[in-house]
C-alpha cells in the first residue's frame, strides 16, 4: 500500500507566493512586502495568478514528500519529472531480504495470474539470495587475501555481492524515496499523473500527494489536478470520457 507523508514545505507557502506576486505588480519594498497580506489578500493574489496564467511566482513554494510502498516501475516514471529532487533507497547498499513488492490489482483479481505472479516473486527472491551468497563467498576470500580483517572482509563482501545480485530483482520490488517539487512543477505533475490515462500506480500516488498539499495550501492547489478540471480533455480520441466524474472526484478530494 502506498504511504505518502508531507515531510516539509515552505513556511507560509501561500503568503510566500503572494509576496512574489505583490512585488511583480506593485511598487512594494522588500522591507514591507508582507505588510497588509491578510488571508483574504493572499488568496486574492493567488486567484489572480491562476486567472491570468502567471505561474512563475508559485515556484517559490516547495513541498517535500516521504513516499513508500511504490514499485521500482513507478520510480522510472516519476524521475522523468526533471524539475524535482529525489533521494531513493539504494538496492546497492540495502540488502533486499524478503523484499516487498507491489501486486497490480488486475493481476490480483485473477487467481491464476496472482498465483503465477507470486511464484515469480518467490523465485526472484531465491535467485537473489543464492547469487548474494555465491558472490559474497568469492568476495570474502578475495578481501581476506588482500589483508583485510574477517569483519571488514565480510562487510565489504556483502555490499559488493548485493550490488550485482540486485539485477534479478523485479520492477514490482518496492522502494522508498524522498521527493521535493515546487508548486509549479507539482501543477504539471498533477495535470499529467492524476489523469485517468496515467498508469494506475502513479495516478494513485499523485492523487495522494495532491490531497496532502491541499491541506496546507488550499488556495494554491484548489484547481490543480488532471487537465480536464480547467478545460476540455487534452487527450482527444484517447479521452477516458468521464470528465464530469473526474471533476466531481477532485472537487471532493
Are 190 and 160 spatial neighbours (Cβ–Cβ below 8 Å)? no
Are 235 and 218 spatial neighbours (Cβ–Cβ below 8 Å)? no
- The order of strands in the sheet holding 174-182 is 3-9, 62-71, 174-182, 84-88
CA distance 122 to 172: 12
Are 195 and 187 spatial neighbours (Cβ–Cβ below 8 Å)? no
DSSP classification of residue 5: E
DSSP classification of residue 173: B
Other CB atoms within a 10 A radius of the CB of residue 175 amount to 21
**Around 99, how many Cα atoms within 13 Å sit in the side-chain half-sphere?**
35
Active centre residues (catalytic): 193
Which candidate, 159, 253, 158, 248, places its Cα nearest to that of 207?
Answer: 253
State CA 54 to chain mean position distance.
25
Amino acid at each position: 500500500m502506498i504511504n505518502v507523508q508531507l515531510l516539509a514545505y515552505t513556511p507560509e507557502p501561500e503568503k510566500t507566493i503572494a509576496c512574489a506576486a505583490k512585488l511583480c505588480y506593485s511598487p512594494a519594498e522588500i522591507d514591507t512586502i508582507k505588510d497588509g497580506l491578510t488571508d483574504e489578500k493572499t488568496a486574492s493574489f493567488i486567484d489572480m495568478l491562476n486567472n491570468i496564467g502567471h505561474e512563475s511566482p508559485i515556484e517559490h513554494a516547495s513541498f517535500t514528500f516521504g513516499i513508500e510502498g511504490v514499485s521500482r516501475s513507478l520510480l522510472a516514471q516519476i524521475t522523468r519529472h526533471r524539475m524535482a529532487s529525489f533521494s531513493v533507497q539504494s538496492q546497492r547498499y540495502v540488502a533486499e531480504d524478503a523484499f516487498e513488492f507491489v501486486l497490480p490489482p488486475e493481476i490480483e483479481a485473477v487467481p491464476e495470474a496472482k498465483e503465477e505472479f507470486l511464484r515469480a516473486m518467490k523465485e526472484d527472491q531465491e535467485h537473489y539470495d543464492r547469487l548474494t551468497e555465491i558472490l559474497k563467498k568469492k568476495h570474502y576470500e578475495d578481501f581476506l587475501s588482500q589483508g583485510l580483517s574477517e569483519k571488514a572482509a565480510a562487510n565489504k563482501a556483502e555490499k559488493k555481492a548485493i550490488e550485482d545480485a540486485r539485477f534479478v530483482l523485479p520492477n514490482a520490488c518496492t522502494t522508498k524515496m524522498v521527493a521535493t517539487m515546487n508548486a509549479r512543477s507539482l501543477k504539471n505533475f498533477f495535470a499529467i499523473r492524476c489523469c485517468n490515462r496515467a498508469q494506475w500506480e502513479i495516478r494513485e500516488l499523485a492523487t495522494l500527494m495532491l490531497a496532502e498539499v491541499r491541506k496546507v495550501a488550499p488556495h494554491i492547489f484548489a484547481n490543480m489536478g488532471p487537465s480536464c478540471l480547467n478545460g476540455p480533455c487534452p487527450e482527444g480520441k484517447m479521452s477516458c470520457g468521464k470528465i464530469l466524474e473526474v471533476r466531481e472526484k477532485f472537487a471532493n478530494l
